[in-house]
A and B are shown apart, each in its own frame.
Chain A
Amino acid sequence: MSPGSRPPGPHPTIGPLVHLLAATVTACLWCLPALAVQAPRSSRSVITYFVARNVHGKRVVEWRIFDPASRVDTLFATVGAKNVNWDTSGTSVEYVAGGQLLRLQWEWGAQPWPILQLPAGGLTDCWFNPDSSCWQAAAVGGVPRNYSSNEPPYAQCHSELWESDRDGHNWRIIGADTSSCGGCYFCETWSLSGNPAIRRKPSAGLKQLQNAMTADAWGGPPEPTWPPDGGPQGPPDWYFIPFRTIPKKGLDLRIGTRNGVRVVRAPFFLMDLRRGTAKELETPYMRQEDWQLGFEERDGFLLVTGLRTYVFDLRTGELIFSPPEVVVQGAAWINPPAPPSVDKPGLQRLRQRFR
């Protein structure tokens, strides 16, 4: 090697510095407490729904998530959940199953955790009261009367308001009301909703989300229109509802009332005002007239849900998803579950503890 020449490789003063830097970085990775890292949540909405399936001769209810953008339908949990409520930040969801109130982190792979045992059957709703830091629950049932085959079984309906202690272990009735129903088969109306002891922690309930889905308030203002080409004549009358996310396109459908109840009639047509075209949307197994259909448009997709559920791509009018089974509680748009959280600092501490 000639004087002044250097062996191949890094400069001798650089090698130690690189190693020192590597050691420092590695040591910091082991030692520094870091914040729990959660993968960023996608802002794209997904559709949540429950469906009853027969698995090996046993009826199971699946909680599923459909992502219209990727067209992937995924099992989220196997549970027949009722009273499903997301917290306002969308990080956790609470529901009732098997007489228990359970909480579930709104992330993939999360497992439910029991919060409390509910006091009785016949509960229609439960919620947390932030004033008393206790749980409250609504129950309603029929008061039977001497039954004769020609008469409805109930003469009265009885409503109760329950409240737990702070631990949720013991419950007591703090309000009750019995009122005549004039002879009825079902008692559905809980008559204590105006009780001053009631306060609800804000949440986004599946039922509320579905109630907000109407036939005519999901897009732009409905405009009366003529029947589209190939569409049957009214009644009820035809309306054009412009999409919010796609200009110059909208839906033609028939909306009317029957016995005081708002009804929607199939078929539906995707109208392209720019091209002047109309395309009938595919709605297999849909009843021609439905009073409980909800519509909601997001991110260029339209969710139509009632006894059956349909998701359409509004750019093409293509039916991209329709579960073959009857959806148990209807479907709704919701923020997608977060990816499984990883407790990175905790894992570092664990590794240090058991090194």
Chain B
Amino acid sequence: MPSPALDSRRSLDGMMTRLHRLACAALLLAVIPGHPAQALPEVTLWVIQPPGQLVAFDLSDFSRVGGVRIPAAAFNEPDRISINAHGQILARLDDDHLWLWDGTKEATLPTAPKAGGAPDSTSRKWLLANDGRSLIVLERSSRDARGPAPDTAGSSLRMSETDLSGRFRKQIFSTHLKPCRRPLRLVAFANPCPEPSLWAPGGTVRDCAVLTYWEQLPAVFADAPPQATFHRTRCLRNGRGWKFGALAAERWSEPLLDMNADGSAWMQAVDDNGCCGWMNGSSNQTTFSIHDSSEVVFDEWAMFDNQNFNFSFYTDDARIAPGSRRVALSVLSTSWPDPPHDVSLDRHVDSLQFSAMRATRANLPIVMVVDTRPKRTEILRVPNAELIGWASDSEILVLMNGRLVGIDVLTGHRRPSDIRLRSAADAFVVWR
């Protein structure tokens, strides 16, 4: 029969063993940062703040979560910054360096990784992926050792996924580009063949990125010069890899303003075709496209009746709301002509129109919110505000009087914050 002392000892040993297991489990939970039990936040507001930080705020009450010190180049030029839903930050410092905050530590990476990379005559564009473990790079390498020259030399184009240190992981897409020969290259003002580009909203690749490059078409006739055409390709990503498809209803010369996560909805600005001293040759428009249908959500002339004036209103920025039911636009204008009544010879502007236009311009920038379904309806117009993004499907964030403000687009209720910004570009709304 065991003695009471031995029983007590066994009981103590058992307790210590249980404690040991508990401690090990606690230790594991504490040190493993990627524990899957915790879900990523639905949305986070990131704002550049002094003395040199990018600070995360909780959008429910604008409370400060915490900040990461960022390089001066990123602080002073926020458009160099991309942020993903994992709280990772990529900043393009200069032609040769990237800066990355991987959620735990910072690192400066070369834009041209040595191991496994293409030769030095390669141009690269880096984007941040939203999966928390990847970067996406578009590389264009020329056979000509002097570097890529799109009009004269053939080159190869490769889109790849790397790890967060820039190490090659897998190829997404590659093609060979022939020298770009444009049929209209002798036309005055014709743009040269552009560099291929890879775009994603905010520089962060979610389920879709837009790859743009020139592709040479064969000559129509045997003795005719070859033609060049412009292709914008939509990259779709699903669980089994990347798929490609043409972006429907696109106009190749117009930039995309925003796109939803899976690339099924996007916004594009159709710019003015004015030239030669006349700034307002056509009505600037902004289109919203979803599932192969497209509608105009902003039409300059219809909205401001300024076709007789030598300046244009245009969409500077646009954001699609979560759910893609609403869009918000930030409207600016080109500079007021000098003298201001400088209109074309065959047009006439009366003083009433003139003062109305002055009043409109005093309200710039204007943020507009448009319901796109069941039909286009403007539901909110906020004067003297800059658009930041959507805090929810019914609340936009704007910059007014130097501070960040939330506005309910249905009720107009304003939710002011104490967050000061230099401009709307200082703030990033990052959705999961």
Contact = CB atoms under 8 A, between A and B. Distances in A.
Interface of A: 12-13, 15-17, 19-20, 22-24, 26-27, 30, 103-105, 107, 109-114, 167, 169, 340-343, 345-355
Given A19-B24, A22-B23, A349-B65, A354 B40 contact: yes
30 contacts: A19-B20, A19-B23, A19-B24, A20-B19, A20-B23, A22-B27, A23-B26, A24-B26, A26-B27, A27-B26, A104-B50, A105-B50, A105-B51, A109-B51, A111-B75, A167-B401, A167-B402, A340-B51, A340-B69, A343-B66, A346-B65, A347-B67, A349-B66, A350-B87, A350-B103, A353-B66, A354-B86, A354-B87, A354-B103, A355-B34
Given A26-B31, A350-B87, A354-B87, A109 B20 contact: no
A105 B49 CA distance: 11
A112 to B, nearest CB: 8
Given A26-B30, A110-B52, A342 B69 contact: yes
Contact of B16 (A13, A113, A352): A13
Ranked nearest first, the 7 interchain pairs of A and B with the lowest CB-CB distance are A346-B66, A105-B51, A354-B87, A16-B20, A110-B51, A19-B23, A350-B66
Contacts of A341: 51
Contacts of A22: 23, 27
A278 B231 CA distance: 82
Contacts of A19: 20, 23-24, 27
B12, B16, B41: which has the most chain A beta carbons within 10 Å?
A: B16
Given A110-B52, A351-B104, A15 B20 contact: yes
Nearest to A345: B66
Given A113-B422, A167-B401, 9 more contacts: A16-B23, A20-B20, A20-B23, A27-B26, A113-B51, A169-B401, A340-B51, A350-B103, A354-B40
Interface in B377-432: 401-402, 422
Main secondary structure of the interface of B (DSSP, over half): mixed
A109 to B, nearest CB: 6
A13 B8 CA distance: 14
B19 A16 contact: yes
Given A169-B402, A351-B103, A353-B56, A113 B50 contact: yes
Nearest to A26: B30
Interface string B22-61: 1110110011011100101100100000111101100000
Nearest to B422: A114
A23 B25 CA distance: 9
Nearest to B49: A113
B349 interface: no
B273 interface: no
B76 interface: yes
B167 to A, nearest CB: 22
Contacts of B51: 104-105, 107, 109-111, 113, 340-341
Sort chain B's interface into a size bin.
35 or more
Contacts of B69: 109, 340, 342
B299 to A, nearest CB: 32
B17 A16 contact: yes
A350 B52 contact: no
Interface of B: 12-13, 16-17, 19-20, 22-24, 26-27, 30-31, 33-35, 38, 40-41, 44, 50-53, 55-56, 64-69, 72, 75-76, 86-87, 103-104, 401-402, 422
A171 to B, nearest CB: 15
B46 to A, nearest CB: 10
B4 to A, nearest CB: 19
B404 to A, nearest CB: 14
B397 to A, nearest CB: 19
A341 B402 CA distance: 25
Contacts of B87: 350, 353-354
A26 B28 CA distance: 10
A109 B67 CA distance: 15
Contacts of A342: 69
B65 A353 contact: yes
Given A16-B17, A110-B51, A111-B51, A350 B56 contact: yes
Contact of B65 (A16, A111, A350): A350
B35 A16 contact: no
A350 B38 CA distance: 13
B20 A355 contact: no
A351 B33 contact: yes
B314 to A, nearest CB: 25
Contacts of B55: 346
Contact of B50 (A110, A340, A347, A349): A110
Contacts of A340: 51-52, 69
A20 B15 CA distance: 13
B23, B86, B401, B402: which has the most chain A beta carbons within 10 Å?
A: B23
B104 A109 contact: no
A19 B68 CA distance: 31
A12 B76 contact: no
B16 A12 contact: yes
Nearest to A28: B30
A341 B34 CA distance: 27
A343 B55 CA distance: 10
B132 to A, nearest CB: 8
Contacts of B16: 12-13, 16-17
Contacts of B35: 355
A111 B20 contact: no
Contacts of A167: 401-402
Contact of B38 (A17, A347, A355): A355
A13 B12 contact: yes
B53 A343 contact: yes
Nearest to B34: A355
Nearest to B55: A346
A35 B22 CA distance: 29
Given A16-B19, A27-B30, A354-B87, A111 B50 contact: yes
Nearest to A347: B66
A152 to B, nearest CB: 34
B67 A343 contact: yes
Contacts of A349: 65-66
Contacts of A114: 422
A107, A345, A349: which has the most chain B beta carbons within 10 Å?
A: A349
Nearest to B36: A355
Contacts of A23: 23-24, 26-27, 30
Nearest to B69: A340
Nearest to B63: A349
Contacts of A352: 38
A351 B53 CA distance: 16
B3 to A, nearest CB: 16
Contacts of B26: 20, 23-24, 27
Contacts of B41: 353-354
Contacts of B38: 352, 355
Contacts of B422: 113-114
A76 B61 CA distance: 36
Contacts of A346: 55, 64-67
A30 B30 contact: yes
